[in-house]
A and B are shown apart, each in its own frame.
Chain A
């Protein structure tokens, strides 16, 4: 009985192992989903003709130490192509980067750079990431359009995972609208409240009316439905995430 079960399983495992070598990357781990990294922009269709990266944005794996968006080598070289007109997320002076993980391997460090300048290192000391992984990183005085390079250094291999995120630092309100239409949204049950006819007497920082598609960071103050709200967590606003609906993101002031 035992033999009967084991043999087919072994066969399957062997076939599977060889297929993985031939077809799939050795292992796939993760990438930055927000603000969208270059591979995330490929995967969500915001940038066209990216090649196979659309199927595996999590697979930009290469030996540690590269400063290229694809980690060096020829695979996924599209990620290094600055002529691609990558959308740049409007961000403040500090940015929260959120990772999507497909395998939670033991981690030595997470590193963030702009150009040759290291912005931050987070040392996990060989621990496995939890369900999610986010880092809030100061942009170190950089302004305008920049490309942030993130490296996830795996503790027990020679490799790292690479993710480049294009940002526009301090460029509030210039986020290009996503080229993909938003997913079907059930219409709100109540029409959005009308905007106030008179602006508040004091203009709060990064103020203005709340608008979907804008990236907000803690400290931003917006008006919506006649009330003012202060941003509690960095995020890019979405229809359905109007300040009164998401107290975790906005507190009324």
Chain B
């Protein structure tokens, strides 16, 4: 009896909003897509605090070159990411107080103290600190990108995640050669 009533209600509801108009298409993106973009943008913002000084101050020209290359690549990726999030009417950051969790909470972040250590380092210490911070940072970026490749829905975002993983893996290889 109760089931019948529910069924009737559903029918009424369906009839009320189905005047021959097709149902809206299912959303082309899912939560993983949004989180991937938001977290990647956060990582790019954090990483810029390393590549900016590293591009200027590293002793080893290869570290300077890689830092500059990372900065350029991230800026171009960020434009695409922001465009998609805007199109989906999603906030650009998962954190309502953007940047707040860089200082505490999420340990998978570059903390202000880490940036301060980098800025205080000199000579070979500076290079070593920059390489170490960039390696950890890129590993975290790869984790988020692989999560998107496994669980995202929006094909261009999945493709971007694949490209990001390949690029960052190659950069990690270069950094590991410098670290060794």
Contacts and interface: CB of A to CB of B under 8 A. Distances in A.
B31 A185 contact: no
B72 interface: no
A230 to B, nearest CB: 15
A54 B146 CA distance: 12
Interface string A171-188: 000000010101111100
B108 A36 contact: no
B140 A102 contact: yes
A1 to B, nearest CB: 12
B34 A12 contact: yes
Given A12-B94, A24-B143, A40-B180, A180 B124 contact: no
7 contacts: A8-B90, A13-B94, A15-B30, A16-B32, A19-B151, A43-B176, A103-B108
Contacts of A54: 169
B111 A104 contact: yes
What are the nearest 6 A-B pairs in CB distance?
A15-B31, A248-B124, A44-B176, A131-B117, A248-B123, A131-B114
A241 B60 contact: yes
Contacts of B32: 15-16, 19
Which of B94, B139, B146, B147 gathers the greatest number of chain A CB atoms within 10 Å?
B139
B31 A249 contact: no
B135 interface: yes
Contact of B124 (A16, A24, A44, A233): A233
A11 interface: yes
A45 B61 CA distance: 22
Q: Is the interface of B mostly helix, strand, loop or mixed?
A: helix
Interface residues of B, number: 52
Contacts of B139: 28, 56-58, 100, 102
SS class of chain A's interface: helix, strand, loop or mixed?
loop
Interface string A5-40: 100110111111001101110011010011110001
B68 interface: no
Nearest to A101: B136
A253 interface: no
A190 interface: no
Contacts of B113: 130-131
A23 to B, nearest CB: 5
A9 B180 contact: no
Contacts, number: 159
A55 B30 contact: no
Chain A: number of interface residues, binned into ranges: 35 or more
A105 interface: yes
A92 to B, nearest CB: 16
Interface stretch (B2-10, B17-25, B73-81, B125-133): B125-133
A40 B173 CA distance: 9
Contacts of B107: 103-105, 128
Interface in A115-158: 128, 130-132
Interface in B87-133: 90-91, 94, 96, 107-108, 111, 113-114, 117-118, 122-125, 128-129, 132-133
Contacts of B45: none
Given A9-B94, A12-B35, A186 B117 contact: no
Contact of A131 (B35, B132, B165, B180): B132
B62 interface: yes
Nearest to A183: B174
Contacts of A57: 139
A132 B129 contact: yes
Contacts of B59: 245-246, 248
Contact of B136 (A16, A30, A45, A105): A30
